[in-house]
Amino acid sequence: MKKEQMKIIAKNILAEDTVEMVLENTYISQHAVPGQFLHVQVASKTLRRPISIADCNREKQTITIIFKRNGQGTKELASYPVGNELDVLGPIGNGFSIEQNAKTVLLVGGGIGVPPLYYLAKSLKEKGITVRCVLGFQTKKNVFYEAEFTQLGETTIVTNDGSYGEKGFVTDVLDNVGVYDCYYSCGPIVMLKALTTTLDGKKGYISLEERMGCGVGACFACVLPTKDGNSYKKICKDGPVFSVGEVSL
Ligand code: FES
């Protein structure tokens, strides 16, 4: 991890209040692995914002971030124009472990938990692993990156209200995804709870980054007990990725 300046070279609105930014930086683009995040400084806030890495291009030396414009800090970040430089710490956190013997894996994302799975899906495909994706959103206007995921593997979109794709929750379509060796997921805790219960006994990895607050160990918003109840883990320091069964959700 290093403190770096990252230049905003592109900015797009992908869906309702969902912003994609492409940032240029040599060090972070050469070191980032799927599941890690950046700590981004916005001018009016003392604490940095933790934002997950959605993509990394080592040749072009770019990192893509996707975030929801839902608070003062992220609204301010979204307002920065192309050409601005961001003060960033990164890459940070424990990323996803790649199962060396896996032939097919299932990726399950919910809402703003979807972005880190894109970089993961690309990395898995480069290793010759078949990827199947289930992406859940509240409603049609929240859906993003369907085409991008579809290029990497069979992708099912689920919306809670049925306004796009399948109707319901990600757990409702799992019977249709076929056979896979392990699963990777990122999304709200309630979704991860339902998913790990439904897939009980399956090997999996979950990223709990949606639960992060300050991202630096200062606010205790991210503390979870370990499964055995004997200690606790901080998502920002010990995660954001954990093996299924490591922490109690
Ligand atoms: Fe604040 Fe972990 S996010 S302590």
Ordered structural domains, the chain, with CATH: 2-92 (2.40.30.10), 104-206 (3.40.50.80), 210-249 (2.10.240.10)
pLDDT score at 34 = 98
pLDDT < 50: residue spans in the chain: none
pLDDT score at 93 = 92
> What's the rounded Cα separation, in Å, for the pair 171 and 73?
32
pLDDT score at 143 = 98
Distance 232 CA to ligand 1 centre (A): 13
pLDDT tens, position by position, 116-126: 999 999 999 99
pLDDT score at 1 = 86
Instruction: Return the HEC string of 89-155.
Output: EEEECECCCCCCCCCEEEEEEEHHHCHHHHHHHHHHHHCCCEEEEEEEECCHHHCCCHHHHHHHEEE
Pocket flag, ligand 1, residue 82 (CB < 6 Å) = no
pLDDT score at 210 = 76
> What's the rounded Cα separation, in Å, for the pair 249 and 239?
13
pLDDT score at 77 = 97
Give the SS3 label for residue 177: coil
Q: Which residues contact 65 (CB under 8 A, 6 or more apart)?
A: 20, 21, 23, 38, 40, 51, 52, 53, 54, 115
pLDDT score at 214 = 80
Q: Which residues contact 82 (CB under 8 A, 6 or more apart)?
A: 8, 9, 10, 11
Q: Which residues contact 197 (CB under 8 A, 6 or more apart)?
A: none
Instruction: Report the run of H or E that residue 162 belongs to, with start and end.
Output: none
Pocket flag, ligand 1, residue 214 (CB < 6 Å) = yes
Neighbours of 224 (CB within 10 A): 19
Q: Is 213 exposed, middle or buried (0-12, 13-18, 19+ CB in 10 A)?
A: middle
The answer to whether the predicted template modeling score (pTM) of the entire model surpasses 0.75 is yes
Distance 72 CA to ligand 1 centre (A): 18
Pocket flag, ligand 1, residue 232 (CB < 6 Å) = no
Q: Ligand 1: which atom is nearest the Cα of residue 237?
A: 2
Q: Ligand 1: which atom is nearest the Cα of residue 219?
A: 1
Which of 185, 32, 244 minimizes the C-alpha distance to 51? Answer: 32
> At 27, which amino acid appears?
Y
pLDDT score at 61 = 98
Residue whose Cα lies nearest atom 4 of ligand 1: it is 217
Pocket flag, ligand 1, residue 239 (CB < 6 Å) = no
Pocket flag, ligand 1, residue 10 (CB < 6 Å) = no
Distance 40 CA to ligand 1 centre (A): 15
Distance 223 CA to ligand 1 centre (A): 7
pLDDT score at 216 = 81
Pocket flag, ligand 1, residue 215 (CB < 6 Å) = yes
pLDDT score at 14 = 98
